[in-house]
Amino acid sequence: SPYPVEIQPTLHPNGTKQCFPQTIIIGVRKGGTRALIEMLSLHPDIVAAESEVHFFDWESNFEKGLYWYISQMPFSYPHQITVEKTPAYFTSSKVPERIYQINSDTKLLLILRDPTERVLSDYTQVFYNRLQKHKHSQPIETVLIKNGEINVDYKAINRSLYYIHMQKWLKYFPLTHIHLVDGDQLIRDPLPEMKKVEKFLSLSPQINASNFYFNKTKGFFCLRDNGRERCLHESKGRAHPQVAPTVLAKLYQFFHQPNKRLFELVGRTFDWH
Ligand code: A3P
């Protein structure tokens, strides 16, 4: 690697420094990326960047250079692993090469979810973002369907065509460097998925059943960290809009072939519609 991957911007007598993340959560948007990074942070050897850095996908940030990126990372001890998550990386075509150029040994985490569910979640996210700006949204069926067919120009549909984006990552990173997390499983039963992530990152087994409890009011698992209990933000786990059964069936049908192509690419299947 032509770049130094760690810096010591200030003298920290406690021996911590900021470094290039050994692992990056690359997506997918609405796949459960926040849950994943929060659950991973339960591990004492993990330190996570607080916000989405958007270094590799936003030109205005990429131009600031590697030292800027590293300066966005939390301080860590030598035995710890730094992680950041920017869900837009997965679908941004320049990102795989850019990460590869800096450190081809970076371990990538990708959390996927039923592509139809992901579309509805994506729509819901945009709906609330617009609402905050007092902007009106088109009804979901209007954006999903164009001339009686699934509207492939709708961004949320494109983002759920996982195989297209995956092909671009596999040009640079072997499958051994990309761990797929089952986002639907992470919702239903987070512990087994997190144990697999621990293994992939060669972490000691520390995350355990007592770290999770089901919150009936939220309808999701919440986290218990050193006795402190917390759920994810209210924007995580929102109700999705009702979609006409015929449109829903069309969506499931639409994703059938793309899903098969992804399964072939990654050598495994997911339990999707
Ligand atoms: P919905 O809000 O559509 O249900 P991201 O963090 O990538 O934006 O993903 C958000 C999704 O994470 C949520 O989508 C939710 O389904 C999922 N999720 C997974 N585990 C969760 C948890 N324990 N609490 C809340 N949301 C969780």
Q: What is the pTM of this model?
A: 0.96
Cα 163 from Cα 263, distance rounded (Å)? 8
- Report pLDDT for 47: 98
| Ligand 1 atom nearest to CA at 183 | 19
Q: Is residue 223 in contact with ligand 1, taking CB distance under 6 Å?
A: no
Cα torsion 167, 173, 175, 178: sign: negative
Q: Is residue 87 in contact with ligand 1, taking CB distance under 6 Å?
A: yes
Pairing state between β 46-48 and 149-150: unpaired
Bridge partners, 224 (sequence order) = 229
> 28 near 159, Cβ under 8 Å?
yes
Closest CA to 26 of 179, 200, 234: 179
Cα 229 from Cα 220, distance rounded (Å)? 13
Cα 250 from Cα 219, distance rounded (Å)? 28
CA 8 / ligand 1 centre spacing (Å):
35
Cα 23 from Cα 237, distance rounded (Å)? 25
CA 49 / ligand 1 centre spacing (Å):
19
Cα 31 from Cα 2, distance rounded (Å)? 33
> 250 near 151, Cβ under 8 Å?
no
Cα 184 from Cα 269, distance rounded (Å)? 13
Residues 6+ apart with CB under 8 A from 245: none
Give ipTM to 2 decimals. 0.99
CA 230 / ligand 1 centre spacing (Å):
14
Token pair of 35, please? 């849950």
Cα 240 from Cα 122, distance rounded (Å)? 9
Tell me which DSSP letter residue 211 carries.
Answer: G
Q: What size, in residues, is the chain?
A: 273
What stretches of 45-148 adopt beta strand conformation (E)?
A: 46-48, 81-85, 107-112, 145-146
Sheet bearing 46-48, strands edge to edge: 46-48, 81-85, 23-27, 107-112, 178-182
Per-residue pLDDT of the chain (273 residues; tens, 9 = 90+): 455 666 655 557 688 999 999 999 999 999 999 999 999 999 999 999 999 999 999 999 999 999 999 999 999 999 999 999 999 999 999 999 999 999 999 999 999 999 999 999 999 999 999 999 999 999 999 999 999 999 999 999 999 999 999 999 999 999 999 999 999 999 999 999 999 999 999 999 999 999 999 999 999 999 999 999 999 999 999 999 999 999 999 999 999 999 999 999 999 999 999
